[in-house]
Amino acid sequence: MRGTLGERIRTMRESRGMTQVQLAEMMNISRSTIGMYERDEREPNLDTIEELADIFNVPMSALTDRNEEKPDLVVEPKIAELNHLFSLLPDAEQDQILALVRTLARAHAKK
């Protein structure tokens, strides 16, 4: 994916069917900040780029490397949000969530 960092952020967000408001809420920042990133009026810091990469489920280099082509994985917005929220939990709580989801999936598969 080529273009500026802002163009890559916009492309990844739009390809996942997300609005600026949805992305901003997931990151706990303002919609206007997302807009400034996408228009290259403001550059996100490294932590923000890492958070964007987690949300979009891509390596950080997909956002930062201008020359390397990266596949643009399409991830449903709910899955992207789950991935982001899950990454914020400690390991023990991640294990509990996984156990619950496995139980729910097995119960659903039996129906």
pLDDT digits (tens, 9 = 90+) for 50-98: 999 999 999 998 898 754 454 555 567 778 788 888 888 898 998 899 8
- Helices of type H across 57-110: 60-64, 77-87, 91-110
- Kindly report the CA angle at 78 between 23 and 80, in degrees rounded to 5? 60
CATH fold of 5-110 reads 434 Repressor (Amino-terminal Domain) (1.10.260)
Report CA 9 to chain centroid distance, whole Å: 10
pLDDT of residue 102: 85
What is d(CA 105, CA 111) in angstroms, rounded to the nearest whole number?
A: 10
pLDDT in tens, 21-34: 999 999 999 999 99
C-alpha to C-alpha distance for 72 and 2, rounded to whole angstroms = 11
Could you tell me how far CA 32 lies from the centroid of its own chain? Answer: 18
